[in-house]
Chains A and B, each alone.
Chain A
């Protein structure tokens, strides 16, 4: 393990948290831009367009926006019909209702014929806060990943969200994008390259790699700083595409750092931890630890309180790093 250099310590102290837009806001803005460029883009929502921000598209293109009312299953199959006749529908609701209430419609209307439908679930995870468990979404990655041929995305900040929504629109095939309610800390500068299915390594490191998505990418950056202060060199990978998973990046991380910690605002089963573990176990077994939500629904509380209580902060990541290092040969 490296010992810290003074310049690195300074960097650690200095990482400044700049809050950008919530990813749902970035989504709404890009959707309007996409609509301007391509008349095939249409949007449907289920009486949450004020919250998912698809309402921005509805304002700009009232003829190409269909509010389906509080009827998510119908909305998803309507989107399938639109897609099968050449439109590029974006269907938005809260992540929980979109995936859970419409799962069979996603399965048979969309995934089975592999239609070009984009579904966008806002208020992903538990960081929506006070509304509580019924509105939170702790299982959407698992459900979306269980839909064959679906691309599954979880952007970390407004910059990556813009890029990924554009890529999703260009991609021909079904895509799920999780967006979030709270303002998200800025991770990217805007000069980075994004590609579906290609994870972004945002910090280099030697001892452990943290593989995270969504809001946990910021926590991973903070954790890498904290670890550096303790003489532990931590790499950070933003796994913005959960499916198809970037096997090469994960195998390289296993080879280069010999230990992996995953982090996600999701149940520990069926999301980042499960999917990364499968790649690691099959290709290059190394010790792993995971940060995520244990087998439970969360509850009402402020976003910060919930992230703390359910173990989703940089502090928890540092603990996971320390635990995995003990098991590293």
Chain B
């Protein structure tokens, strides 16, 4: 997927966003806010950054991606479908009985899913394990984990942060979707976790603080992570929850509530502009 110019990536991201609002509306439940905030990051990963073969999902040299904030599943499912892991029309089955597209990703149920998530806080640890296995096997795959800023409340995240730095797991990159909101409200009010960059640096990580909706900055950040040796990298992506749909942006209501069909139409119209 080396042909991802910034303009092409923006188009893909819009496609993913449309998929996201459509599939969540069809399911009548799900998490639009956090799916949309991560859409650009996931687009960059799947269409540019990851070394992967959608036709051979178990390829042992593939880069691994873990969606630690499992409720962002619609963004991941859209990326998997749009890169050819499974037919796009299957997106409509999200959250339906018997569908491999579970409300939160489950490894073994859907191709391309590397870990079962949905209980927040575990992805960085799993990613560290995968990266260590790659080191033991002398493989050069990289491991990417996308997590939420609310998720950073979990103690396990910091256990993993200590661990990955101690073992100098420099082929592990964690992307923190810092949209400043969690479920009950603004992170600053629920449990303030800033200054995040200082915290991760203090834990021994390389930290890159950037705009998570600017593909120029996103690609540069991933590049820098790839070139960093001796320590893991935290990509502190500053994002907007609900990004791309004006009435969802920074709107706490859309953390875990599906759009109505009217809201879907309005969303698609905006995204098409």
Residues of A within 8 A of B (CB): 45, 47-51, 55, 67-71, 73-74, 96-97, 100-101, 129-135, 299-302, 305-306, 309
| Per-position 1/0 for B85-104, Cβ under 8 A of A | 00000000001111101111
Nearest A residue to B151 via CB reads A70
Q: Is B191 part of the contact surface with A, judged by Cβ < 8 Å? A: yes
| 11 A/B residue pairs, CB under 8 Å, sorted by A | A47-B184, A47-B191, A69-B153, A70-B183, A71-B191, A101-B121, A130-B95, A131-B118, A299-B98, A300-B97, A302-B97
B182 touching A69, Cβ below 8 Å: yes
Given A47-B183, A69-B150, A71-B155, are A134 and B96 neighbors across the interface (CB < 8 Å)?
A: no
B104 touching A135, Cβ below 8 Å: yes
Nearest A residue to B255 via CB reads A50
A54 to B210, CA, bound (A): 36
Given A47-B153, A55-B184, A301-B97, are A135 and B120 neighbors across the interface (CB < 8 Å)?
A: no
| Per-position 1/0 for B27-51, Cβ under 8 A of A | 1111000000000000000000000
B97 touching A70, Cβ below 8 Å: no
A300 touching B184, Cβ below 8 Å: no
Q: Is B74 part of the contact surface with A, judged by Cβ < 8 Å? A: no
- A301 to chain B: which residues have CB within 8 Å? 95-98
A49 to B183, CA, bound (A): 9
| Per-position 1/0 for B151-192, Cβ under 8 A of A | 101110000000000000000000000000011100100110
Nearest Cβ distance between residue A303 and chain B, in whole angstroms? 11
Q: Is B22 part of the contact surface with A, judged by Cβ < 8 Å? A: no
A101 to B156, CA, bound (A): 10
Additional pairs, 10, CB under 8 Å, beyond known A299-B97, A300-B102? A47-B191, A69-B193, A70-B120, A70-B150, A133-B106, A134-B104, A134-B106, A134-B117, A134-B119, A135-B103
Given A70-B120, A96-B119, A132-B102, are A47 and B190 neighbors across the interface (CB < 8 Å)?
A: yes
Nearest A residue to B109 via CB reads A299
A50 to B118, CA, bound (A): 18
A67 touching B191, Cβ below 8 Å: yes
Nearest A residue to B27 via CB reads A130
A50 touching B183, Cβ below 8 Å: yes
A299 to B117, CA, bound (A): 13
- A305 to chain B: which residues have CB within 8 Å? 97
Nearest Cβ distance between residue B220 and chain A, in whole angstroms? 30
| Per-position 1/0 for B230-270, Cβ under 8 A of A | 00000000000000000000000000000000000000000
- A101 to chain B: which residues have CB within 8 Å? 119, 121
Nearest Cβ distance between residue B122 and chain A, in whole angstroms? 10
A48 touching B116, Cβ below 8 Å: no
- A300 to chain B: which residues have CB within 8 Å? 95-97, 99, 101-103
Q: Is B72 part of the contact surface with A, judged by Cβ < 8 Å? A: no
- B153 to chain A: which residues have CB within 8 Å? 47, 68-71
Nearest Cβ distance between residue A60 and chain B, in whole angstroms? 16
* Most chain A C-beta atoms within 10 Å of own C-beta, residue among B29, B98, B119: B119
Given A69-B150, A69-B190, A135-B118, are A130 and B29 neighbors across the interface (CB < 8 Å)?
A: yes
Nearest A residue to B117 via CB reads A134
Nearest 10 A/B pairs, CB to CB: A134-B118, A69-B191, A301-B97, A69-B153, A132-B103, A70-B153, A130-B95, A131-B103, A132-B102, A300-B103
Nearest Cβ distance between residue B91 and chain A, in whole angstroms? 14
A48 touching B183, Cβ below 8 Å: yes
A73 to B159, CA, bound (A): 13
Given A96-B119, A300-B96, are A132 and B183 neighbors across the interface (CB < 8 Å)?
A: no
Nearest A residue to B153 via CB reads A69
Nearest Cβ distance between residue B186 and chain A, in whole angstroms? 11
Q: Is B112 part of the contact surface with A, judged by Cβ < 8 Å? A: no
B29 touching A131, Cβ below 8 Å: yes
* Most chain B C-beta atoms within 10 Å of own C-beta, residue among A51, A135, A299: A299
* Most chain B C-beta atoms within 10 Å of own C-beta, residue among A50, A69, A135, A306: A69
A305 to B29, CA, bound (A): 15
A46 to B106, CA, bound (A): 23
Q: Is B204 part of the contact surface with A, judged by Cβ < 8 Å? A: no
Nearest A residue to B187 via CB reads A69
Nearest Cβ distance between residue A127 and chain B, in whole angstroms? 13
Nearest A residue to B106 via CB reads A133
Given A47-B150, A300-B97, A301-B96, are A70 and B103 neighbors across the interface (CB < 8 Å)?
A: no
A45 to B102, CA, bound (A): 26
Q: Is B127 part of the contact surface with A, judged by Cβ < 8 Å? A: no
Given A69-B190, A305-B97, are A134 and B116 neighbors across the interface (CB < 8 Å)?
A: yes
B154 touching A309, Cβ below 8 Å: no
A50 to B181, CA, bound (A): 14
B184 touching A133, Cβ below 8 Å: no
- A129 to chain B: which residues have CB within 8 Å? 29
Nearest A residue to B193 via CB reads A69
- B193 to chain A: which residues have CB within 8 Å? 69
